[in-house]
Structure 1
Amino acid sequence: MGTAELKVPEGKLVEAKVKIIEGKINEILITGDFYVHPEEEIEELEKNLLGISVEKVNDVVNNFFKNRDIILVGVRPQDFVKVILMASQE
């Protein structure tokens, strides 16, 4: 399982643990000291990423946040994309 962390410019930390099997996300855990409301949306994002190919991470993450009423503080959708891709390389 690959692990990565990203310190975003605002000073928040985003961490991802990702297990890739045959080019697809088999397991994923996203944590950090950022703020998301409602909090359970991070779990929903993780569920949306399961089974997708690494090449589709950017589209899935951006569409997820674009199509939902989610408040992000200290982190942006592209920060999630970056840390997931970093962890996928491990």
Structure 2
Amino acid sequence: MIEAEVRLEGDLIRYVKITGDFYFHPEEELERLEEALEGAPIDAVQELVERFLEEKKITLVGINTKDIVRVIFNAAGRGS
């Protein structure tokens, strides 16, 4: 299970917090991902998340990249 809290200002992410029951390693990088998303356009989330996970060689268990993107969009009111 994964959840996100997102606050937008226009189309820019001003705050994002990702929580849930999943494995994200190294775990300190989750906070860095959140920081990397802050100030970014909501429409750039998928590209930014994919690039971050690849560059940092993040190991995910219980979730995948699409799950992270989906909960961010849903929390921002942009989900389907």
**TM-score, normalising length: structure 1:** 0.83
Structure 1 residue ranges (4+ consecutive) displaced by more than 6 angstroms after TM superposition: none
Gaps of 5+ in 2: none
Q: For residue 15 of structure 1, what is the amino acid of its counterpart?
A: E
Identity over aligned pairs, percent: 41
Name which of 28, 34, 37 aligns with 2:22: 34
Point out the structure with the larger helix share: 2
**Normalising by the residue count of structure 2, what TM-score does the alignment of the two structures yield?**
0.92
Aligned residue among 59, 63, 67 for 1:75:
63
Whether 1:88 and 2:76 are equivalent positions in the alignment is yes
Match of 1:65 in 2: 53
The two structures, once aligned, show a CA RMSD in angstroms of 1.1
Q: Distance in 2 between matches of 1:54 and 1:67?
A: 20
Larger Rg: 1 or 2?
1
Q: State the number of aligned residues.
A: 78
- How many Å separate the matches in 2 of 1:61 and 1:35? 16
Question: Which structure shows the bigger proportion of residues in strand conformation?
Answer: 1
